[in-house]
Structure 1
Amino acid sequence: MKSIGIVVTPGCWAMSLFAVTDFFRIVALLEKQAGLQPGYRVRLLANAPGKRLHAAGSHAIHTDACLEKAAPSDWLVFPAIEGPALGKTLAPSQEASAYLARHCETQRAVLSLSTGIVPLAATGLVNGLRINTHWAFLPTLQQRYTECHFRARESYLQDRWLYSTSSLHGSFDALLALLANDRGDHFAQLCAAHLLVSSPIQMRPVLPGTRRHDDAAILAVQEWLESNPQASLSLEQLASRFGFSERNLKRRFTLATGLAPHLYLQKVRIDRAKKLLISGALSVQQIAHQVGYENVSYFIRLFQREAGDTPAQWRKTNGAY
């Protein structure tokens, strides 16, 4: 069972904190319904003296342990912190910093939600890494932590073991990516379909490993393809839309994501098809058309090659409970 440590800093947003605990509650419910062994144990770790801290708005949060005395965690999550609290001293104690250093040295995952990166940035452990954060705080954070490379992108960024987000939706995207790496695509897709934050087809595709780069122009192409998987554009048309030559787009896109543009779009379409299969009663033919395939037989063959099952078999195995 993996241990998930949520680092609670005074002034953190309760909404950000409980979004993570609720995510893992959904995971636990789906594990139980699927007959799986529990895979995650969530603990709240206090990044301040005492086990009772106050979130933004003075809401009391009762933690399970102080950070410096906590058992090692497999994943650490840092909830977002409200603006007024960012001006205060948020650096962890010497003992807590040592705990964080041991975690980072072993390359175990860290997830920072928006401004939640501040306690970690104060330790110097993320110097040199690319970090996604809320656009409104980007200038302040970049000025304060000059050795970090802050960005304000949609969804999430991954740099080595650090996952960072700029928004609530990005938080779920990153959690789903971590879940997919750990429990596989099938279970992550099921979890995505059960999240109550938006229609499943409006969520980002679960494609771990494709956001480890810092090419803003390619990120824009990725996000457009993810929002418009049904679009029928040639590589030449796609390149023209974003001001690339065809050759340059293919080269940069493949270098950034590890996939050629047409293969990336293919995976985006199959991902959306999985969500539609889980969350609705549309026929396979209707789903094929919605994700951009007029030839249903071709869609079925492609889906089977990517997912290992036909769409009908995949729906039967992975349908909503």
Structure 2
Amino acid sequence: MKKVAILSYEGCWGMGVFSATDFFRIVALLEQHLGLAQTYAVKVLSSDGAEVCAASGHMIQPDAAISDADDYDLLIIPPVEGVRLAAGFTPEPNVLAWLTARQRGGARLLAMTTGVCFVAAAGLAENRLLATHWAYVRQLKKCYPACQFIPQQSFLQAGDIWSTGTLNGGFDALLEILAQERGDQFAQLCATHLLVSAPERLNPILPGHRNHCDEAILRLQDWIESHHAEAITIERMGHEVGLAERTLKRRFQQATRLSPNLYVQKVRIDKAKKLLLASNLSVKAIAYEVGYENASFFVRLFKTHVGQTPAEWRKCESILTP
């Protein structure tokens, strides 16, 4: 069983703590329903095991102190309130030492938005690209000049360190971690049960293709994911971000390791997976919903990417659907 620790501390945002606990509760409920063994054991920790006051003024009661904790596979650091960060917030030295020891022991770290200051203060991310909330990029750069911070709608992964720019980015990162550990089908099922958005509007689970700092290409990726059902051409993509066709292709390939057209295909196929799981729409209707008027072409493309036809995917997923 994999062990997950969620850090709580004075001034942290409670929604960061409890969005993570609730995510793993959904995972556990799905596993229970499917008759699967529980994958994750989750604890909320604080520096000394005592209650902490969240940014809202409400108290969080942790399960244990970091000194009482065993080794963990994943450590989640919720955001710190921006007012505190701007006032010179500094993480406790014993917490930084604990994070460093656990990371060196093989744990993954997931820092949500301003919680990335813990990673930076511990010296774990020098020369790595880190995502954070757009309003605090300048502040963090000033405090931790050895680190590179960029605003990001979703998340970045730099080795075993994950960082997010939004709360929803935390869900995106957890879904990708889940996909790596439990497989794409289970992660897609979990995504459709998060209830944070309609299935077709959930961000795609496309590992590794946002780990770059080309802001124009990041904007284009956001645009593609929002307009995937429309007719998308290289010319239109270039117009959206002000890049010539040749420059767009080169920069997109360099940043994402995919061509623009292949990225569009992957986004559409991912949206189709979610609709196959969460709706009773026909395959033809789903093809149209994700941007393909020719259903036969969509079926062939889906099988090329997934290894199964949409009908085979849906049949397999029906075993998992409550």
TM-score, length basis structure 1? 0.93
Q: What displacement does 1:212 show?
A: 1.3
Structure 2 match to 1:22: 22
Say whether the 8 Å CA contact 1:51–1:64 is kept in structure 2.
no
Say whether the 8 Å CA contact 2:97–2:122 is kept in structure 1.
no
Structure 1 match to 2:275: 276
Tell me which amino acid in the other structure corresponds to 2:7.
V
Structure 2 distance, partners of 1:88, 1:261, is 42
Moved over 6 A (4+): none
Q: What displacement does 1:89 show?
A: 4.6
Q: What displacement does 1:107 show?
A: 5.2
Q: What displacement does 1:291 show?
A: 0.7
Say whether the 8 Å CA contact 1:91–1:120 is kept in structure 2.
no
* Unaligned segments of structure 1, at least 5 residues: none
Report SS of the residue matched to 2:56. helix
Tell me which amino acid in the other structure corresponds to 2:280.
A
Structure 1 match to 2:124: 125
Structure 2 distance, partners of 1:186, 1:134, is 30
Q: What displacement does 1:123 show?
A: 1.9
Structure 1 match to 2:110: 111
Structure 1 distance, partners of 2:260, 2:75, is 33
Q: What displacement does 1:69 show?
A: 3.6
Report SS of the residue matched to 2:52. strand
1:6 aligns with 2:6: yes
Report SS of the residue matched to 2:242. coil
Structure 1 distance, partners of 2:197, 2:6, is 24
Count of residue pairs the alignment pairs up: 319
CA spacing shift, 1:107–1:203, aligned 2, 3 Å: same
Q: What displacement does 1:88 show?
A: 5.6
* Unaligned segments of structure 2, at least 5 residues: none
CA spacing shift, 1:233–1:97, aligned 2, 3 Å: closer
Question: What's the CA shift string for 1:231-264, capped at 9, x where partnerless?
Answer: 2233233234322232222222112112111111
- Measured on the aligned residues, the alpha-carbon RMSD in Å equals 1.7
Q: What displacement does 1:106 show?
A: 4.6
Report SS of the residue matched to 1:253. helix
Tell me which amino acid in the other structure corresponds to 2:223.
W
Q: What displacement does 1:183 show?
A: 1.1
Structure 2 match to 1:74: 73
Question: What's the CA shift string for 1:174-219, capped at 9, x where partnerless?
Answer: 1111111111111111011011111111111000111111111111
1:40 aligns with 2:40: yes
Say whether the 8 Å CA contact 2:121–2:144 is kept in structure 1.
yes
Say whether the 8 Å CA contact 1:32–1:38 is kept in structure 2.
yes
Structure 2 match to 1:143: 142
CA spacing shift, 1:242–1:84, aligned 2, 3 Å: closer
Report SS of the residue matched to 1:302. helix
Question: What's the CA shift string for 1:48-80, capped at 9, x where partnerless?
Answer: 334322212332222122223421111111011
Structure 1 distance, partners of 2:14, 2:143, is 25
Structure 2 distance, partners of 1:209, 1:120, is 20
